[in-house]
């Protein structure tokens, strides 16, 4: 008899968040927002500084970056492109319980992106969150409930998910 797996235990890609922080407002910030829009195909949300840091020349409330949240097919497509930059290798410390993150030093390393001297080069952070069916009970408004300990995603399960994508975790 064929082994049956529980469909509620299947790991799914919840979202991919791409964060690009410039550290200053103005022309460089606008160019960074256009870069992130070109890479993801979505309009980014502007992020603002939380406090004033005089040494970096940042004031509280100043626009210093942008981020995009990708879901579904767009998320998987971008994730595969971004992992190619990391040569499909991640370190064990980059992987957590149901999530993993990594940085890209130059956006031109992504496949299909060419260097434009007018825009420049930008680095970005990519954060990925995994989920299982049934995780919605923790976030819904009516009849909210906790996720059971057995249903949570462990680090080893996250590593197994990465291996199905062809990523080596060292």
| pLDDT tens per residue, range 143-169 | 999 999 999 999 999 999 999 999 999
On whether residue 4 sits in a domain, the answer given is no
On whether residue 1 sits in a domain, the answer given is no
**36, 44 in Cβ contact below 8 A?**
yes
Least confident segment among 1-10, 80-89, 110-119, 127-136: 1-10
CA 58, 61, 62: angle at the middle one, nearest 5? 50
Predicted pLDDT of residue 1: 52
On whether residue 105 sits in a domain, the answer given is yes
For 94, the domain range is 10-169
Mean pLDDT (the chain, rounded)? 91
Residue-by-residue DSSP string for 62-121: -EEEEEEEE-HHHHHHHHHHHHHHTTTEE-GGGB-SSEEEEEES-GGGSTT----TTT--
The answer to whether residue 2 scores a pLDDT higher than 60 is no
**Which residue reads 């020349």 in tokens?**
57
The CATH code of the domain that includes 53 is 3.30.1440.10
d(CA 71, CA 59): 32
pTM of the shown model: 0.89
Tell me how many domains the chain contains.
1
CA dihedral in degrees (44, 46, 47, 49; nearest 10)?
A: 160
Predicted pLDDT of residue 3: 62
């Amino acid at each position: 008899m064929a082994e049956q797996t529980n469909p509620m235990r299947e790991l799914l890609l919840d979202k991919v968040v791409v964060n690009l922080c410039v550290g200053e407002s103005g022309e460089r910030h606008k160019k960074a927002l256009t870069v992130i829009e070109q890479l993801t195909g979505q309009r980014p949300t502007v992020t603002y500084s939380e406090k004033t840091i005089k040494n970096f020349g940042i004031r509280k409330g100043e626009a210093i970056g942008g981020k995009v949240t990708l879901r579904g097919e767009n998320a998987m497509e971008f994730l595969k492109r971004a992992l190619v930059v990391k040569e499909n290798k991640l370190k064990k410390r980059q992987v957590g319980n149901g999530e993993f993150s990594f940085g890209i030093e130059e956006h031109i390393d992504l496949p299909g992106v060419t260097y434009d001297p007018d825009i420049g080069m930008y680095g970005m952070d990519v954060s990925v969150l995994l989920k299982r069916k049934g995780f919605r009970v923790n976030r819904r408004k009516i009849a909210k409930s906790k996720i059971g300990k057995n249903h949570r995603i462990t680090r080893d399960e996250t590593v197994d998910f990465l291996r199905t994508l062809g990523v080596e975790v060292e």
